[in-house]
Amino acid sequence: MVLARSIRRKLIVGLALVLVMMATLSISGLGGLWSYRQAVRELNFSVFEAPDRERLEAEIAVLATPLLDDGLAVSRQVLAERHREAVEALSVYRMRWGRLTPSPTTLANRSVSQQLLGQLQRQLEEMGRTLSGTGRLEAAERRLLRVQVAGSLRTARSLPDPRTGLTGRLRAADRELASRTRWLVGSTIAAALLFVTFVHAGYRWVFQPIRALHEGARRVAQGDLDYRVELSTRDEMAELAESFNQMTDRFRDIRDDLDGQVRDRSRQLVRSERLAGVGFLAAGVAHEINNPLAAIAMAGESLQERLEALLGQAAPDEQSVIRQYAEMIGREAFRCQEITARLLDFSRGQDTSRAPHDLVKLVNEVLALVGHMSRFRNRTITFNARGPCPLEINGPQIKQVVLNLVANALESTGETGRLDIDLVNQTDHVVLNFSDDGCGMTTETIENLFEPFYTTKSTGQGTGLGLSISHRIISDHGGTIEATSAGLDLGSQFRLQLPRRPEGGESDWVGAPVREASQRDHKSVGKNN
């Protein structure tokens, strides 16, 4: 139905149908009873209440029967007895006529009936005087009685008969009763159809949606979060189904988010275990090979100086090879020393003391340092920040992280690459976004990006510790670092988030003057890159 678009309206429509059914059946039943009552009243009136003119005529006609045959001897006492019965019949007729309910018909005939009843009364009185004598009934008295009886019959037949038309009224009542019966049967059939329609509509509007919701709840309880309840009733049940689907979508999102968090935490746990193993290994290895590496480096430098005096005796080709090998020994020895230094820093961590620093100033210092590197001069770097951003952080460590991210981004771009750095101030956090248009990353690279010793650079170009150390530094500060990429040759994005206040409560550093970074910090950042 057009208006039945909500359960309330549907219930109202259903109640209206029930009322229509009850009203139809009630009207039909009451109409039939009324018709039956009218017929019974007509019959009751005719039998028990209406004046009986036929009985009056019959009582008078009984007087005439013995008078018709002159040869038949008639007793005066018998005629007197029959005359008394006729008088009683007239009295009953007069009494019933007086108790008739006034109606247009009875009012019109009342005066005529009174005249005729008076005339009939007088005729019966004269007949009584004729029969009052004694002895045998004479012929003259017989003739007079015949005349008087004939006049009385004519007068009695002239009386209005209230029963006239009773047959027609009974037939009309019978037709009315048949019509009411047909109407009642039709109404009952219509009511049954309406009831079936109401039951069917109730099943579609209420029971079927409830069953669909129950099935959806059962499926979701079994873990099928992709199941959806589809209802087209356009009422509260449909709204409930929509809310149920939204709840299921929310559950699925929460499940996916929790699964992602579990995977992230699992990777972090594995990474932490690896880092712990690397730190333990690095502490031993660095101490064991650091002194031999120093000796090799010093011996290489000494050997290179001593060979310079002897190179004049060698052929020109051999001089170039000897000099190249001597330089390689010293260079690679110092490179091994740098790796062991990083391993030691990684194993024991750096100074985690924190102080108020301006993050904008730290980033600008890193960009100034990178800008003087000849290999990055053709890159375009933009830094978007509005005013200073004071944070309580370890300045050298954060500079090291920023330098690692900037250097990695610039190395992944071409000669005319671009790097955009955006600083976003939030209520409780500060976000640094690094976006480049470089070579991009695969999904596998992103998953292993922060693993120690994982690198995509050529052999000898990187140790694979820069991003691992950066991840540990940011985690120690209570922040997060995330990497995303749309694919190869589509650039990469790094999102660095730092809390405004260190974890563990408020501090009184807010509003303190921002300190200048020392030259030692500046050199430390350049060294650790």
Whichever domain contains 419, its CATH number is 3.30.565.10
Q: Which long-range contacts (CB under 8 A, 24 or more apart) does 185-192 make?
A: 187/24, 187/25, 187/27, 187/28, 188/25, 188/28, 190/21, 190/24, 191/21, 191/24, 191/25
C-alpha–C-alpha distance, residues 400 and 481, integer Å = 14
pLDDT value of residue 493? 93
The tokens describing 169, both together, are 């009224």
CA distance 243 to 236: 10
Whether 278 is covered by a domain: the verdict is no
Residue 433 domain-assigned? yes
Q: How many domains does the chain have?
A: 1
What span, in angstroms and rounded, lies between the C-alpha atoms of 467 and 473? 10
Identify whether 383 is part of a domain.
Answer: yes
pLDDT tens digit at each of 529 positions of the chain: 344 457 677 778 778 878 887 887 788 778 777 777 776 776 666 666 677 777 888 888 887 777 766 666 677 788 888 888 888 888 888 887 777 666 555 555 667 778 888 888 888 888 888 888 776 777 787 788 888 888 888 888 888 776 665 666 667 777 777 887 788 788 788 888 888 887 887 787 778 888 888 888 888 888 888 888 888 777 777 888 888 888 988 888 888 888 888 877 777 676 666 666 666 666 666 666 766 777 777 777 777 777 766 666 667 777 777 777 777 777 777 777 777 776 666 555 555 578 888 999 999 988 888 877 777 778 889 999 888 889 989 888 898 899 889 988 888 888 888 999 999 988 888 999 999 998 888 888 888 887 777 777 654 556 667 788 888 888 888 899 999 998 888 899 999 999 987 765 443 333 333 333 333 333 333 333 3
Q: Give the integer Cα–Cα distance in Å for 522 and 517.
A: 7
Query: How far is the C-alpha of 162 from the C-alpha of 229, rounded, in Å?
Result: 77
Task: Look up residue 51 and give its amino acid.
Answer: P
pLDDT at 511: 36
420 in a structural domain: yes
- Specify if 264 maps to a domain: no
Instruction: Report the C-alpha gap between 31 and 421 in whole angstroms.
Output: 91
Q: Where are the beta strands (DSSP E) in 228-309?
A: none
Question: In which order are the strands placed within the sheet that holds 429-436?
Answer: 380-384, 418-425, 429-436, 492-499, 480-485
The dihedrals phi and psi of 502, each to the nearest 5 degrees, come to: -65, 150
Rounded-to-integer distance, Cα 335 and Cα 357, Å: 32
- Residue 104 domain flag: no
Instruction: Note whether residue 431 is domain-resident.
Output: yes
Residue 420's domain comprises 349-528
pLDDT at residue 347, as a whole number: 56
What is the 8-class DSSP label of residue 490?
A: S
Residue 126 maps to a domain: no
Cα–Cα distance between 65 and 461 in angstroms, integer? 155
Would the pTM of this model clear 0.75, i.e. be above it?
Answer: no
For residue 92, the model assigns a pLDDT of 85
